[in-house]
Structure 1
Amino acid sequence: MNFLLSIAFVLCWSSGFIGAKLGVGTASTVTILMWRFLPLAVILMIVAALSGTSWRVLTVRDVARQATIGVLSQSGYLLTVYYAIELGVSSGTTALIDGVQPLVAGALAGPLLHQHVARRQWLGLGVGVGGVTMVTLADATSGAGAAWWAYLIPLLGMFSLVAATLLQGRSRTQIAPAVSMTVHCATSAVIFTALAVSAGAAQPPADTSFWIAITWLVALSTFGGYGLYWLILRRSGVTKVNTLMFLMAPVTAVWGALMFREPFHVQTALGLAVCLAAVVIVYRGDVSPTRVRSLESSRP
């Protein structure tokens, strides 16, 4: 079951980078994100109002914590990813830059979550960062059109997601998946609607491909990728779920090359192979998987 969940997670999370590429061809980043979350938040709030049982035990502090996690794991993360792709960074490279997340999460999981990270895991994580560097340099020198500073933007999103992961890991309150999903999506809807309205970009384009991209992002990325992230985090721990992030890059790079003819060089392939080796090293080195408390949100 864990193996199948991991495969589904990798495919669904990778689909988010492809969906972002589809969307930025028709509208600005804030427009896409507003219409990705606004209808979804309304539906989720109606469902929450009709069911309501899981909300009765929540305190104001619980809701505030989940809103903060939503800001970090959805709003901050997605805004940087979409903006980087809009600036011309390839979807595969954006996915791989975000893949440096395991090293940061692994380094902080010890002191903040009191989890043991084995030496072999550290080796694998370090190898993975080497692969990230190789692919990023290949993309940056390919003449794809993105400015050098655009490659720093996904790093901000990576730190945002790591912060959300560690914040949830320190939580002692178990929150039902539907509840956390609703809070996260409602928070993101408010933030992205405010940004779109203030930028004069709230009106969606009259383009069928825009709504195809929105449907893609809601079904695969939000319910699939984002939700499975928290589910696997709860079942397997910070190090393993973040190590799976290294697999996003190969899948996204191949996907982007086939769909959008994004650059895929020998150096790109070598870097991706290094990242896959890092996953093998980390997984073989984890003989006693640790678990963390997590957002019970197995679906936003």
Structure 2
Amino acid sequence: MAPSARWSVLAPAVFVLIWSTGFIVARLGMPHAPPWTFLLWRFLLSIPLFLGWAWMARSPWPVDRRTYWHLAVMGALMHAGYLGGVWSAVKAGMGAGLVSMIVALQPILTAILVQPEPGFKDGGRAFSGRWLGLGLGFVGVVLVLWQKLHLPTTAGALSFTSVLFALAALLSITFGTLYQKRHLAPVDLPVASSVQLLAAAVIAAPLAGLESEGMAWNEALVFALGWSVLGLTLGASSLLYLLIRRGAVTAVASLMYLVPPTTAILAWVWFDEPVTGLTLVGTAFVAAGVALAIRR
């Protein structure tokens, strides 16, 4: 199998697996840290890694100032906006399952906002199949999370503030994905990530300064922060950047449907949370929906 073919097969699967660990990390880290302070640490620790990568790879830096602006907007949306919304919602009392379901609306919102891509025409089988896939995927996500949505620890602390944070995360990741696909010229990954994370850190710094709670350093928090930097920012965020640059935005967004089922399995392994028959049925719906959504 050619390297490009292996990339097309492995990259989406690796992305979904690593991205799903974000909700596990949130459960580990949030009891010990305020959201924006944690994220500021994450951004500041990640920037030197990408700068070192750019230096070793001798990556060219953009000449056009507009490229830096576009990268900064992406960083504000996809790092500060999305992550800040998710972590703030969890800290405000919303369960990770409900947050992931709200964020799982991204494929539908993306399909509504994006212009039909080549090969998708109104009334055509490909276009109809995409919408059928998006619908099946969302039904599957609801089935996977149904039991979690009825647990007191998830729904009992629901508030207007937590819902607002979750919706902010949804809008940020959706518009960030569309913005990258529309405006950004090809930029080497370490250079793009360095600028994005710097913009996210500029946003996170004053918000972290407003938080009264401090970081309660312990093994769980250190692990959560380390994995957030190495696994999620260096790994998953980089893969998302490359997938958006190389693929159709609706197809990439549909991968988010696979995150809740994968998170449920990881929670079973990590926290011994039960995987019910409804979870398995929902996972099958999600897999079928994503397969339909990404077909041309």
- Per the normalisation by structure 1, the TM-score is 0.83
Residue number in structure 2 paired with 1:61: 66
Paired letter, 1:141? H
Following TM superposition, by how much is the alpha carbon of 1:169 offset from its aligned partner in structure 2, in angstroms?
1.3
CA distance in 1, matches of 2:91, 2:274: 16
Following TM superposition, by how much is the alpha carbon of 1:187 offset from its aligned partner in structure 2, in angstroms?
1.3
Distance 1:3 1:209, change over 3 A: same
- SS of the residue corresponding to residue 85 of structure 1 reads helix
Residue number in structure 2 paired with 1:159: 171
Which of the numbers 148, 158, 182 marks the counterpart of 1:148? 158
Q: What are the equivalent positions in structure 2 for 1:77-226 lying under 5 Å apart?
A: 77-110=82-115, 116=120, 118-146=127-155, 147-149=157-159, 150=162, 153-171=165-183, 173-201=185-213, 204-226=215-237
Following TM superposition, by how much is the alpha carbon of 1:140 offset from its aligned partner in structure 2, in angstroms?
2.6
Following TM superposition, by how much is the alpha carbon of 1:50 offset from its aligned partner in structure 2, in angstroms?
8.2
CA distance in 2, matches of 1:257, 1:154: 24
Which of the numbers 204, 228, 244 marks the counterpart of 1:233? 244
The more displaced of 71-80 and 84-93 is: 84-93
Q: Deviations over 1:158-182 (max 9, x none)?
A: 2211101111111252222111100
Paired letter, 1:76? G
CA distance in 2, matches of 1:164, 1:263: 34
The more displaced of 180-189 and 256-265 is: 256-265
The more displaced of 31-40 and 245-254 is: 31-40
The more displaced of 11-20 and 92-101 is: 92-101
Following TM superposition, by how much is the alpha carbon of 1:276 offset from its aligned partner in structure 2, in angstroms?
2.3
Distance 1:155 1:114, change over 3 A: farther
Query: What is the number of residues matched between the two proteins?
Result: 282
Following TM superposition, by how much is the alpha carbon of 1:132 offset from its aligned partner in structure 2, in angstroms?
3.3
Residue number in structure 1 paired with 2:271: 260
CA distance in 1, matches of 2:290, 2:153: 28
Distance 1:47 1:130, change over 3 A: closer
CA distance in 2, matches of 1:158, 1:194: 22
Distance 1:167 1:64, change over 3 A: same
RMSD, aligned CA: 2.6
- SS of the residue corresponding to residue 63 of structure 2 reads coil
Q: What are the equivalent positions in structure 2 for 1:2-81 lying under 5 Å apart?
A: 2-45=8-51, 54-55=60-61, 57-81=62-86
Following TM superposition, by how much is the alpha carbon of 1:97 offset from its aligned partner in structure 2, in angstroms?
2.7
- Per the normalisation by structure 2, the TM-score is 0.84
Following TM superposition, by how much is the alpha carbon of 1:19 offset from its aligned partner in structure 2, in angstroms?
1.4
Following TM superposition, by how much is the alpha carbon of 1:196 offset from its aligned partner in structure 2, in angstroms?
1.3
Residue number in structure 2 paired with 1:294: none
Q: Deviations over 1:248-284 (max 9, x none)?
A: 111101212332345655544443332222112224x
Residue number in structure 2 paired with 1:276: 287
Following TM superposition, by how much is the alpha carbon of 1:135 offset from its aligned partner in structure 2, in angstroms?
4.5
Distance 1:262 1:88, change over 3 A: farther
CA distance in 2, matches of 1:26, 1:244: 30
- SS of the residue corresponding to residue 148 of structure 1 reads coil
Q: Deviations over 1:186-235 (max 9, x none)?
A: 1122222221122244x533313211111111111111111111212222
Maintained 8 Å contact 2:103/2:170: yes
Unmatched segments (≥5 aa) in structure 2: 1-5, 122-126
- SS of the residue corresponding to residue 54 of structure 1 reads coil
The more displaced of 38-47 and 185-194 is: 38-47
Paired letter, 1:254? I
